[in-house]
């Protein structure tokens, strides 16, 4: 009488059809014989392996479901078989890719592996995750699969970047997995899941600050919870690295949805990013809405018209709402401008302020201008100074104006220097070491055209036509007398006003 051993012998001898026929006959007479079922399971496995790369999901599903049925009663006893079967599922899914054909395979494999005892963490388990992310990009069950898989099962090597065939650095599996899972959670937000994932992403960022994109999705999750301040904290370091990406500014605008001016600044900044016009259609629409809210009708109509034109150029459907909005703005007296570049420049400084909102501000004073290069030199304190391109940040700036700047400390060949990140006028005063108000009676040094008030040097150009004994008020900046090798103060302004400029 033939037994399971004969089935195994035929299979190992390459006689798969004969092994399958014999196993089928024996299971007909003894359907519950565990040894025959196990031998048939390995025959099914060989048949599964034969079709895994064939890109024929029906054939794969036939063998997969038959094998799953054989081990259904005691999956824990068939770990070796099921783990090998999972490898073939990986092969099949990579072969099928993100296609409609893959959907049934994804569903069938997921239904089975939830009941199997699978080695984890393991190379095979990580490969299963990778294959589901590749083939399941549009599959509705990907989020449930990743929740079941549990990202805590990632191995240390999964956190290392990969390499493409042409030697280019590739995102690690771990970074890809967290990003993919965050996208899935955002599609079907669950408060408890979101909070857990936010914490996991924070831990991931602390352990792997080199990962660029997880903070972006952490911020999106925080936005979903309604926590704007926490979202900004998570997003800003990432935003500074990606400040030339229009979508980054669109996300920042979403954070400021209830503050139109700030949202406008973000969306105006998005319009200056290098990208194809077709990608800006939605951002332009959002900008048009915000501009209309603050009464900038011409600018709103200009953005809406550009958005509509881009849609038409791409052959995309222009919804009736677009046309209606154009008509309403036109009815308000709106006209289409040549472009909105002046508006973008107007809001640039505010956008920079928002981008560096988590960097401390320092108050300084403008000490001098290079009008040819449009550069303003700013003293923060006796040891820190910097300079800004004032045509970008503010117009009509003058020596003695107070400026709030955010600085980035850097080190070069000549030591530490400070790079301005943002700048704006302010009414706050700088430290006493860089600014000194003065008021007093002026008198010239005998035989000279200059004089002093309370130790402040008053140069001749400031007192042309001023008589000795006049009461002068002004402010002074630090100076250095190269002849006497002595620090002192030099007046920048001197007039008959009773209060110092800038106060």
pLDDT of 78 higher than 90: no
Mean pLDDT of all residues belonging to the chain? 89
pLDDT of 93 higher than 70: yes
CA distances from 251 to 219, 256, 286, 358, 412 (A): 9, 9, 11, 17, 34
Note the pLDDT of residue 391: 67
What's the pLDDT band for 392 if we cut at 50, 70, 90? low
Note the pLDDT of residue 499: 39
What's the pLDDT band for 424 if we cut at 50, 70, 90? confident
pLDDT digits (tens, 9 = 90+) for 261-317: 999 999 999 999 998 999 999 999 999 999 999 999 999 999 999 999 999 999 988
Choose between 36 and 320: higher pLDDT. Answer: 36
Tokens of residue 464, six digits? 């042309």
Tell me how far apart the alpha carbons of residues 104 and 61 are, in angstroms, rounded to a whole number. Answer: 8
Note the pLDDT of residue 502: 43
What is the SS3 assignment for 50-65? Answer: HHCCCCCHHHHHHHHH
Note the pLDDT of residue 148: 97
pLDDT digits (tens, 9 = 90+) for 435-450: 888 999 998 888 888 9
**Tokens 């955010």 map to which residue?**
406
Contact status, residue 10 vs residue 19, Cβ threshold 8 Å: yes
Sheet of strand 451-453: strand arrangement: 436-441, 471-481, 486-495, 456-458, 451-453
Mean pLDDT throughout 345-374?
88
Tell me how far apart the alpha carbons of residues 85 and 127 are, in angstroms, rounded to a whole number. Answer: 13
pLDDT of 86 higher than 70: yes
- The SS3 call for residue 480 is strand
DSSP 427-444: SS---TTT-EEEEEE--B
Note the pLDDT of residue 309: 92
* Range scoring the smallest mean pLDDT among 11-15, 394-398, 495-499: 495-499
Tell me how far apart the alpha carbons of residues 302 and 320 are, in angstroms, rounded to a whole number. Answer: 18
Note the pLDDT of residue 497: 55
Note the pLDDT of residue 503: 42
Note the pLDDT of residue 22: 94
pLDDT of 498 higher than 70: no
Note the pLDDT of residue 500: 40
Mean pLDDT throughout 446-460?
89
Q: Domains in the chain, start-ordered, CATH in brackets?
A: 4-234 (1.25.40), 243-350 (1.25.40), 359-425 (2.40.50.140), 436-495 (2.40.50)
pLDDT digits (tens, 9 = 90+) for 32-67: 899 999 999 999 999 999 999 988 999 999 999 999
Percent of the chain exceeding pLDDT 90 equals 49
What's the pLDDT band for 73 if we cut at 50, 70, 90? confident
Mean pLDDT throughout 66-88?
89
DSSP type of residue 494: E
- The SS3 call for residue 27 is helix
Contact status, residue 45 vs residue 85, Cβ threshold 8 Å: yes
Tell me how far apart the alpha carbons of residues 266 and 333 are, in angstroms, rounded to a whole number. Answer: 26
Mean pLDDT throughout 233-250?
85
pLDDT of 231 higher than 80: no
Cα-Cα-Cα-Cα dihedral sign, residues 259, 265, 268, 269: negative
Note the pLDDT of residue 395: 67
Question: For residue 271, with 0-12 CB atoms within 10 Å meaning exposed, 13-18 middle and 19 or more buried, which class applies?
Answer: buried
Choose between 178 and 223: higher pLDDT. Answer: 178
pLDDT of 31 higher than 70: yes
- The SS3 call for residue 463 is coil
Tell me how far apart the alpha carbons of residues 259 and 270 are, in angstroms, rounded to a whole number. Answer: 17
Tell me how far apart the alpha carbons of residues 292 and 286 are, in angstroms, rounded to a whole number. Answer: 10
Tokens of residue 216, six digits? 């972006």
* Range scoring the smallest mean pLDDT among 52-66, 128-142, 212-226: 212-226
pLDDT of 327 higher than 90: no
pLDDT of 347 higher than 90: yes
223-254 burial by CB neighbour count: b if 16+ within 10 A, else e? beeeebebbbbbbbebbeebeebbbbbbbbbb
Mean pLDDT throughout 12-38?
92
Mean pLDDT throughout 464-487?
84
Note the pLDDT of residue 332: 86
* Rg of the chain in Å (alpha carbons): 35
Tokens of residue 367, six digits? 């000490």
Contact status, residue 420 vs residue 406, Cβ threshold 8 Å: yes
Q: Where are the beta strands (DSSP E) in 292-446?
A: 361-370, 375-381, 384-389, 402-412, 415-425, 436-441
């Amino acid at each position: 009488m033939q037994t399971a051993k004969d089935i195994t012998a035929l299979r190992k001898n390459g006689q798969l059809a004969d092994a399958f026929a014999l196993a089928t006959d024996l299971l007909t007479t003894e359907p519950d014989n565990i040894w025959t079922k196990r031998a048939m399971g390995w025959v099914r496995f060989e048949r599964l392996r034969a079709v895994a790369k064939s890109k024929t999901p029906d054939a794969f599903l036939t063998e997969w479901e038959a094998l799953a049925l054989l081990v259904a009663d005691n999956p824990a006893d068939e770990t070796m078989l099921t783990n090998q079967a999972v490898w073939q599922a990986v092969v099949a899914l990579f072969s099928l890719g993100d296609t409609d054909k893959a959907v049934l395979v994804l569903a069938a494999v997921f239904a089975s592996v939830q009941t199997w005892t699978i080695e984890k963490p393991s190379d095979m388990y990580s490969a299963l995750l990778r294959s589901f992310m590749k083939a399941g990009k549009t599959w509705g069950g990907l989020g449930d699969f990743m929740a079941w898989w549990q990202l805590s099962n990632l191995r240390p090597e999964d956190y290392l970047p990969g390499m493409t065939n042409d030697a280019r650095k590739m995102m690690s599996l771990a970074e890809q997995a967290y990003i993919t899972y965050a996208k899935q959670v955002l599609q079907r937000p669950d408060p408890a899941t979101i909070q857990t994932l936010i914490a996991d992403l924070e831990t991931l960022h602390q352990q792997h600050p080199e990962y660029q994109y997880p903070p972006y999705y952490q911020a999106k999750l925080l936005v979903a919870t309604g926590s704007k301040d926490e979202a900004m904290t998570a997003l800003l370091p990432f935003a500074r690295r990606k400040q030339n990406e229009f979508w980054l500014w669109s996300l920042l605008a979403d954070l400021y949805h209830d503050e139109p001016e700030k949202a406008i600044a973000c969306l105006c900044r998005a319009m200056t990013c290098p990208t194809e016009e077709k990608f800006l259609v939605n951002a332009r629409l959002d900008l048009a809405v915000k501009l209309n809210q603050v009464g900038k009708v011409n600018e709103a109509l200009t953005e809406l018209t550009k958005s509509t034109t881009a849609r038409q150029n791409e052959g995309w459907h222009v919804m009736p709402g677009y046309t209606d909005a154009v008509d309403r703005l036109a009815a308000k007296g709106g006209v289409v401008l040549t472009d909105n570049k002046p508006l973008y420049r107007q809001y640039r400084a505010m956008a920079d302020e928002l981008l560096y909102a988590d960097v401390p501000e320092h108050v300084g004073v403008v000490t001098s201008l290079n009008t040819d290069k449009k550069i303003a030199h700013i003293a923060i304190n006796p040891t820190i100074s910097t300079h800004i391109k004032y045509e970008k940040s503010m117009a009509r700036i003058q020596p003695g104006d107070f400026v709030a700047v955010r600085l980035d400390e850097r080190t070069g060949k000549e030591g530490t220097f400070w790079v301005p990140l943002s700048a704006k006028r302010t009414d706050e005063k700088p430290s006493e070491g860089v600014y000194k108000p003065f008021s007093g009676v002026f008198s010239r040094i005998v035989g000279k055209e200059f004089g002093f008030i309370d130790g402040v040097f008053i140069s001749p150009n400031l007192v042309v036509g001023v008589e000795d004994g006049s009461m002068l008020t002004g402010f002074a900046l630090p100076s250095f007398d190269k002849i006497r090798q002595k620090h002192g103060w030099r007046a920048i302004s001197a007039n008959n006003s009773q209060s110092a400029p800038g106060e």
